[in-house]
Amino acid sequence: MDDSRELQKCRDAAYRLLARRDHGSRELATKLERRFGPGVVGTVLAGLVERGLLDDRRFALAFARELSNREPCGERLIRVKLAGRGVESVIIGEVLAELALDEEELVEEAARSKLPTLAGLDREAAARRLLSHLERRGFRPDLIRGAVLRALEGWPSAQRHDEEDG
């Protein structure tokens, strides 16, 4: 197959992928390199960037907003997810600065929204599950502890089975 035909096939594949959703450069390159050589993919990606169809910063910002809108999350989770999609750390830092998440408010919201699923558990079990949930959502440990304590205020403590009534 000649180079121009290979380029066109790669370009068409890139357009199809971008039509479904926005991608970062590294993510798109990885997908395209399954079928096309790195030189062809590089040429196609350069053309997409030049025409404004591929922009890592725009992708990262949209991805981070979608992630944080779906369910409250911390910067750590956003950072990990974006890095996993091949976004450079400088761009991740810029995106997080632009988002300016209020993690203190978000961790409280995440804790409150998780509480109904913990009904019926004793305080210790509820605290463990809530702590684990907030860690997975990417909140800072210093914020998690306070949020767990506040969320479980008034929560019934464990019943002791070794005590007898009367």
Per-residue pLDDT of the chain (166 residues; tens, 9 = 90+): 567 899 999 999 999 999 999 999 999 999 999 999 999 999 999 999 999 999 999 999 999 999 988 889 999 999 999 999 999 999 999 999 999 999 999 999 999 999 999 988 889 999 999 999 999 999 999 999 999 999 998 887 654 444 444 4
Q: If we measure between CA atoms, which residue out of 20, 15, 101, 88 comes closest to residue 57?
A: 88
Contact 59/87 with Cβ under 8 angstroms?
Answer: yes
Residue 114's domain spans which residues? Answer: 103-151
| Same domain as 94, residue 117 | no
pTM: 0.79
92: in domain: yes
- pLDDT for the residue numbered 120: 87
| Same domain as 82, residue 60 | yes
28: in domain: yes
CA–CA gap between residue 44 and residue 3 (Å, rounded): 12
49: in domain: no
161: in domain: no
CB neighbours of 89 closer than 8 A, spacing ≥ 6? 83
Q: Total structural domains in the chain?
A: 3
